[in-house]
Chain A
Amino acid sequence: MEEILLSIRNITKNFGEGNVLSGVSLDVRRGEFVTLLGASGCGKTTTLRIVSGLETPDEGEVILDGRDVTALAPEDRPVNTVFQSYALFPHMNVEKNVAYGLKVRGEDKKVIAARVKDMLELVQMSDYAKRMPAQLSGGQRQRIAIARALAPQPKLLLLDEPLGALDLQLRRQMQIELKRLQKKLGITFIYITHDQEEAINMSDRIAVMRGGRFEQLGTPEEIYDRPKTRYVAQFIGRSTILEGTVRCVGNETAVIENANGWFSVSAKDALLKTGQKAEVCVRTERMRASRTPLDVFGLPATVREVRYAGGSVEIFAAMKDGTEAVATSDQPLASAPKAGETVYLHWTIGQAAVIGGASYDA
Chain B
Amino acid sequence: MAGSKRKKKRNLFSPIYLTLVLLILYLPILMVVVYSFNAGRTISAWQGFSTNWYTRLFSNGLMKDALVNSLVLAGLSAALSGGIGTLGAIGISRSHFKFKGAVESLATLPMMIPELVLGMAYLALFTGVGVKLGMGALVLTHTTFCVPYVFINVKSRLVGMDPAIEEAARDLGAKPLRVLFDITLPLIMPAVISGMMLAAAMSLDDVVISFFVTSAETTTLPLKIYTGLRSGGTPEINALSTLMLAAIFIFVGLSQLIKAKSDKMTSPR
Asked whether B248 is an interface residue with its Cβ less than 8 Å from the other chain, the reply is no
Question: Any chain A CB within 8 A of the CB of B7?
Answer: no
B265 touches A91 (CB 8 A): yes
Contact digits for B251-269, partner A, Cβ 8 Å, 1 yes 0 no? 0000000000000111111
A residues 73-88 near B (Cβ < 8 Å) are: 73-76, 79-81, 83-85, 87-88
Does A168 sit at the interface, judged by CB under 8 A? no
User: Is A100 touching B172 in the complex (CB atoms < 8 A)?
Assistant: yes
**Closest Cβ of chain B: how far from A218's Cβ, in Å?**
29
Closest to A133 in B: B268
Question: Chain B residues with Cβ under 8 A from A79's Cβ?
Answer: 171
Asked whether A87 lies within 8 Å of B164 as measured between CB atoms, the reply is: yes
How many angstroms from the CA of A83 to the CA of B269 in the assembled complex? 18
Q: Within the complex, what minimum Cβ distance (angstroms) separates A252 from chain B?
A: 54
The reply to whether A80 and B269 form a contact with Cβ atoms under 8 Å apart is no
Contact yes or no, A152 B173, CB < 8 A: yes
Selected from A75, A83, A90, A134, the residue in CB contact (under 8 A) with B173 is A75
Smallest Cβ distance from B170 to chain A, in angstroms? 5
Establish whether residues B165 and A87, one from each chain, have CB atoms under 8 Å apart when the complex forms.
Answer: yes
Contact assessment for A75 and B164 in the assembled complex, using a CB-CB cutoff below 8 Å:
no
Which residues of chain A in 123-176 are interfacial with respect to chain B, using CB atoms and an 8 Å cutoff?
132, 134, 148-149, 152
CA distance A104 to B169 in the complex (A): 9
Q: Given known contacts A90-B266, A134-B265, A134-B269, is B172 in contact with A84 (CB within 8 Å)? A: no
- Residues on A with C-beta less than 8 A from B168 are 81, 83, 87-89, 148
Beyond A91-B186, A101-B173, A105-B173, whether A74 also contacts B167 by CB under 8 A is yes
Q: How many residues of A contact B (CB 8 A)?
A: 27
From the candidates B169, B186, B264, name the one contacting A100 in the complex (CB within 8 A): B169
Cross-chain contact of A83 among B167, B183, B186, B267 (Cβ < 8 A)? B167
A111 on the interface (CB 8 Å rule)? no
With a cutoff of 8 Å between Cβ atoms, the chain A residues found around residue B267 in the complex are 134
Kindly list chain B residues whose C-beta atoms are within 8 Å of the C-beta of A100: 169, 172, 174, 182
Chain B residues positioned under 8 Å from A132 (CB to CB): 265
Shortest distance between the CB of B61 and any CB in chain A (Å)? 46
Task: Report Cα–Cα, A73/B268, bound state, in Å.
Answer: 30
Query: Is B64 in the interface zone, CB < 8 Å from A?
Result: no
Residues of B at the A interface (CB closer than 8 Å) are 162, 164-165, 167-175, 178, 182-183, 186-187, 264-269
